[in-house]
Amino acid sequence: MYYKQISCPALFITSLASNQGKTILTSALAYYYIKKKHSVSVFKTGPDYLDPMILEKVSDNLVEQLDLWMNGEEYCYNILYKASQKTDIILIEGAMGIFDGTPSSADLAINFNIPIVLIINVRGMAQSIASIIIGIKKYKNNLLLYGIFINNLGSYYHYKLIKSILPVNISLLGMFPKYNKIIFKNRHLGLIPPNEQNNFNKNIKNISKFIIKSKIINSIPIVNFKNKKKISIPILLKGIKIGIAKDLAFSFIYNANIKLLEYMGAKVFFSPLIDKYIPNIDALWLPGGYPEIHAHKLSINKSMHESIKNFFLKNKPILAECGGMLYILESISDLNNKFYIMAGILPGHSELTNFLGCQGMQSLILPEGIIRGHSHHNSYSFATIKPIGYGIRSSYYTFIGEAIYRIGRLTASYLHMFFPSNPIVCASIFYPD
């Protein structure tokens, strides 16, 4: 069953791979429309915390995830429909390459009939771009290709070469020149958050100048959004106070997770970096982030270690995800083999590496039920306890997923959960005995 249909201008920004300029283009568009006094809703496909931080800064709006597997189709219908009710323009930034993943960015764009803008890094290529575009159109002919935007353009001659070879029905919507001031800085795991970048606002302003000169702003296609059915969520955490670690060390938090907890109960933010003790709470959530970057400051805050340990010894509910799990291990070692003492609640140690761990979407099978999530990290843990299970990966993976640990009411894993994929499991994890 569908409710009333609503129309709203929308674009899906995608590319051939990661690091092609998707976030730069999406940010520049959002910034341009905000300055024109339009309201903009921005979404990011797939599991990602860092790109949304950039997009939230420029759009002055919360950014949520869209993923047909992690969120589910019904959830995606609902949040797009809600966005179309209250916003002037919807922008969606894809993840990785357009056809990467199952389901992919292309699958999402096709499912909701959203036209795509393909941003292509043309450094080191010219006429070959035509074969790429033709291949994409033939690979999935029901994909609505609105046009292309080129990145790393070398010269006017370079532009003329590309323009001359494009298929007649493909629009060249704009370009970014080969200019190193319009890139966002990276570190391990992804983009550096905007509050840690110097001159972020100035850089965004410089980027937007190229949008003003482009065709992409002339007429964004209108898309019809419809709702399937209202999702009913029980109020399972009424009166429960959940402490959520949130600071520079712990910031990998889906906005959808916070919204769900607010709907089902209460939230209280605190900082393991700054605060001496956890607040007066019923349950504790230690999300992912960068504890390894702030390991020294975390290690010397002994009163916080003791406060969390006492909370654990009272058999209170604790969820520790990825960086949050590293924090409650006995120690962290960085790339220079420098050793930092952590809270020591979960037996084991962690070590930072230069390679990625067990990446990707996984289902967590817990005693409370199944909930979906993902993994993304540059470290490994060792000398830990026996896990109660492992994340379940797609059938084309031949190796097991992330370990899931449980001691009393403590649940810990490298996996980041998407709470709305199973609100009942989420509530069961946090509900005190």
Per-residue pLDDT of the chain (433 residues; tens, 9 = 90+): 556 789 999 999 999 998 888 988 998 899 899 988 999 999 999 887 778 888 888 888 889 999 999 999 999 999 999 999 999 999 999 988 999 988 999 999 999 999 999 999 998 898 899 999 999 989 998 999 999 999 989 899 999 999 998 888 889 999 888 865 556 666 555 566 656 566 777 777 777 788 877 778 778 999 999 887 777 888 999 999 999 999 989 999 999 999 999 999 878 888 888 999 999 999 999 999 989 889 999 999 999 999 999 999 999 999 999 999 999 999 999 888 899 999 999 999 998 887 666 578 899 999 999 999 988 877 878 889 999 999 987 655 557 889 999 999 999 999 999 999 999 999 999 999 8
Q: Which residue in 8, 76, 322, 358 is the catalytic one?
A: 322
Distance between CA 154 and CA 207 in Å, rounded? 16
Kindly list the distances between the CA atom of residue 384 and the CA atoms of 28, 113, 173, 315, 348, in Å, as whole numbers in the listed order. Answer: 45, 47, 53, 20, 4
* Topology, domain 6-225: Rossmann fold (3.40.50)
Distance between CA 109 and CA 112 in Å, rounded? 6
Residue 228 three-state SS: coil
Residue 50 three-state SS: helix
Distance between CA 277 and CA 337 in Å, rounded? 29
CATH tag, 242-430: 3.40.50.880
Sequence ranges of the domains in the chain: 6-225, 242-430
Distance between CA 188 and CA 392 in Å, rounded? 25
Residue 176 three-state SS: strand
Is 322 annotated in the active site?
yes
Q: Is 359 exposed, middle or buried (0-12, 13-18, 19+ CB in 10 A)?
A: middle
